[in-house]
A and B are shown apart, each in its own frame.
Chain A
Amino acid sequence: MPHDVSNRAKSATPDGLNVAVLVSIGRHPLTARTRRADQDARAVEMALTLEGASVSLLHAGQHEREHEEALRGYLGMGIDSVNLIQQRPQADVVPALADALREGAPQLVLTGTRAETHEASGVLPYLLAEALGWPIITGLAAVEKVEQGMATVLQALPRGKRRRLRIRLPAIATVDTSAPAARQSAFGPAKRGALEPLDATSEVDEALAAWQVQPARKRPKRLKIVKSSSARDRFKAAAAKADGGGGQTLSDVTPEQGAEAIFKLLKEEGVLR
């Protein structure tokens, strides 16, 4: 796929932008074969299109043959090496990743919103942000410019909306399917790229160990029945917002006021008691 070179974000940082991308082992939804994870690959794609950025890939996990094949999928995008932080299978990778990021000190950390295997809770970026004390932005659609430690980015909102944000670096950003698709992974570079194993202590994930894991039951999908007479109505129904129409938009409020409003809502909804 030809990649548009023109819309690369310019980085005004004198010695280039240092971007770390966290990549995981993906899994094909139909055949369950391991592969590069789609969203993580999009994150790599975004990093590669940042002009003048030096990109490093980080993976915390095991050095296994099957995993290696998936990681090579990222290498095939034109990356020389992936740093592999070795962890035991049941380990909590957050501390190890946080340590590595602290040490590597990238200005921007990119990753997919949610992994395709294991817990796939999507919480990891938040935990990392908390551990490092960095801001986090979700649904990154584009990085427009990086200047004096500030990045101007576009955030994807539902139904194709975009919101322009300015964030202070270093920051963590997650990428979902609204980001541009990843480039093709080429066999040659994938084969030649290196996996650099890094030793790190693995901390057992106590919470996970206590969990009971079983295959998910297939649940019937709820059919959305649209009773309408014309194609126009059906289109409107399909494109309509899914929410109930309630809620309120708060702008120009102090963080305390905002937090208060959220707290109140969570109480009303019975999430917090």
Chain B
Amino acid sequence: MLDTLLPILLFSALALAAIGAVRRVRLWRQGRPSSVPVIKGLMQVPRRYLVDLHHVVERDKYISHTHVATAGGFVLAALLAIVVHGLGLDSAILAWVLLAATTSMFIGSLLVAKRRSPPPSRLSKGPWMRLPKSLMAFSIGMFVVTLPTAGILPEGVFQSGVGWFAALVLAAVIVWGLGEMFFGMTWGGPMKHAFAGALHLAFHRRPERFSDATGGEHRSTGLKALKLDDESAKLGVEKPADFTWNQLLGFDACVQCGRCEAMCPAFAAGQPLNPKKLIQDMVVGMAGGSDAHYAGSPYPGKPVGEHKGDPHGPIVAREGTTLVDAETLWSCTTCRACVEECPMMIEHVDAIVDMRRFLTLEHGNTPNKGAEVLDNLIATDNPGGFDPDSRLHWAADLNLPLMSDKKEAEVLLWLGDGVFDMRNQRTLRAFISVLRAAQVDFAVLGTEERDSGDVARRLGDEATFQSLARRNIQTLSRYRFSRIVTCDPHSFHVLKNEYGELGTPQTPADYHVQHHSTYINELVVAGRLTFKAWKGGSVTYHDPCYLGRYNGEYEAPRDVLRALGIEVKEMARSGYRSRCCGGGGGAPITDIPGKQRIPDMRMEDVRETGADLVAVGCPQCTAMLEGVVEPRAAIKDIAELVADALIIETAAEKSPQRQEAPATPRPALEVTP
């Protein structure tokens, strides 16, 4: 009986899976068009899976091994089952391999079960709790049913007496396994992540993210420009169907592992945001329905089951509730911790900014100080609404060389909006003294500089961003310099990664941009700076999101600190796992309340290291962390630490021949020993 039943079961499960796949693809195709290389993308899947995805999964060794055992076993078992049981190929060798594959899968499923007893809070429950059992059902069912083919049990054992009964039970187990693994894969069960995930890897919106055989950096963090010249087009994402189809596909790939949730500073602070839930809400919206079936942690303070949406309905309602509340979107600091951590390579920040763009550009609804800041940026080119002609007032005594006088310089020093902030002016002064000590040929734009557009862009105001960026590009095109150096990681990121797309053939905008820590490190390596020994207390270092995760610069700041003689006491969350200070993405401007403040949590991380001082490299981080009430560690920018330790060689010391004669004439004896 099983010989006839098994192929029927297998092929009907496959057929149902195929129907489900078509339906799922149609859900994704509701999105806006986005062209991708189909064949090339599909060919890339194995590499992207084995190299890039595993690079992320491997950060958690346990689940990485589990996944290799389970998924590897399943893929092999499924293929062989089709050949052996579906097509009836009676090969003992294949059967033995099939046994091995199902065994591996079974061991994997035991590990999955162990991880889930009890499940950590970041994992989703609901249907996910039955997944280990379904995996076992599939692996055990396939294992037992293959025993006769492998020659371990006699052929025909399932055909008489007790065998009949066993066959019935076995069939039921296999139906369960097939149902979850084949049918569930395309009809929205937990296994959907495998189907959508593979295609997501193939058609990812940022193919630059993936490594290739040539090696090198593969990072893609700049936001993509919005086309503003189309008169009728809606700006940003209002409805789920306004995402591009491959974004929708990406949302569908989520495995609800909650790694993003565990890393999200806004979630930890009790602000109404959970990146995992947000992605799931997009899935709910794309398919239509309510979030009542969601079985993970909710947005803090927002019970599950009150929101619903459909592909062509608004995500954020002007009044009342639909799929997501606006404050959820405005809680994000765009720190990218979620994206960095996501094993499915989902782009949360892109999605959040896409939706913010609609709220700002179409609804005119940027919360709290948002509208004021944007108005200031439009009218005065800086977020504080200061007189743009007063940009250089802080440096009246520094006699800074201006690009408009010099026309060219080795280094263009991008000062950023910190020029209006007294705290950051200290950092800038320190950095300028470092540049002078190393005798660097530098110049500033002075009053010709404008805000880089970072805040405007993260607040969704793409129009103001592009206007600022284009004018800055125009200004920069008038001067010659070999690199731009800045103390502000946000300007750094925008100039380096986001201006390029707005350049024109006449005014290309591909600059060599460096953060001041990178540049100082180069100066140190070149032996152009000498330092006194470090005498202060213990020091830790806070990685700014826009320097670290956005641009992969983790080492230069640490190298500089090492050169100063400082041994960095690392925080538990540092490097690519650094916790945001709460200052990015316009979050201090939109200021969505939570249970605690993000900078307080970060200073708690600092306190745990016992460090007396935290070195930073960003004006936002400085401001956020210094805003934490005392007693707390002192906060100093790397530039300040370097400037404090400088041994300034005076011109006299460097050229001894011009040394003035000592006051008392020395005896000739001493001069020629």
Contacts and interface: CB of A to CB of B under 8 A. Distances in A.
A202 B375 CA distance: 34
Nearest to B371: A184
Given A1-B367, A30-B379, A31-B388, A184 B361 contact: no
Interface of B: 228, 231-232, 234-235, 319, 360-368, 370-371, 374-375, 378-381, 385-388, 461-464
Interface of A: 1-2, 5, 28, 30-31, 33, 35, 76-78, 183-189, 191-192
A77 B363 CA distance: 9
Contacts of A192: 231-232
Nearest to A34: B379
Contact of B361 (A2, A35, A188): A188
B179 to A, nearest CB: 47
Contacts of A186: 360-365
A187 B235 contact: yes
Given A1-B367, A31-B387, 13 more contacts: A28-B380, A30-B380, A30-B386, A31-B380, A31-B381, A35-B378, A184-B360, A186-B360, A187-B360, A187-B361, A188-B235, A189-B364, A192-B231
A86 to B, nearest CB: 23
Contacts of B361: 186-188
Given A5-B319, A35-B379, A30 B362 contact: no
A231 B577 CA distance: 50
Contacts of A5: 319
B519 to A, nearest CB: 32
22 contacts: A1-B367, A5-B319, A28-B379, A31-B379, A31-B380, A33-B378, A35-B378, A35-B379, A183-B371, A184-B360, A184-B364, A186-B360, A186-B362, A187-B235, A187-B361, A187-B463, A188-B234, A188-B235, A189-B364, A191-B228, A192-B231, A192-B232
Contacts of A76: 364
A90 B250 CA distance: 60
Contacts of A183: 364, 371
A185 B379 contact: no
Contacts of B388: 30-31
Contacts of B374: 184
A192 B379 CA distance: 21
Contacts of B381: 31
A116 to B, nearest CB: 12
The 3 closest A-B pairs by CB, nearest first: A186-B364, A184-B371, A184-B364
Is chain A's interface secondary structure helix, strand, loop, or mixed overall? loop
A124 to B, nearest CB: 24
B528 to A, nearest CB: 40
Nearest to A28: B379
Nearest to B461: A187
Contact of A184 (B235, B319, B366, B385): B366
Contact of B364 (A30, A35, A78): A78
Given A187-B461, A188-B235, A192-B231, A33 B362 contact: no
A1 B388 CA distance: 26
B371 A191 contact: no
Nearest to A33: B379
B359 to A, nearest CB: 9
Contacts of B379: 28, 30-31, 33, 35
Contact of B371 (A1, A31, A189): A1
Contact of B385 (A1, A30, A77, A78): A30
Given A1-B371, A31-B379, A188 B365 contact: no
B387 A30 contact: yes
A45 to B, nearest CB: 12
A127 to B, nearest CB: 30
A186 B371 CA distance: 10
A1 B363 CA distance: 11
A138 B600 CA distance: 49
A78 B365 CA distance: 12
Contacts of B362: 186, 188-189
Contacts of B464: 187
A186 B381 CA distance: 18
Nearest to B358: A188
A35 B231 CA distance: 21
B666 to A, nearest CB: 62
B231 A185 contact: no
A210 B652 CA distance: 69
A193 to B, nearest CB: 11
A72 to B, nearest CB: 11
A186 B461 CA distance: 9
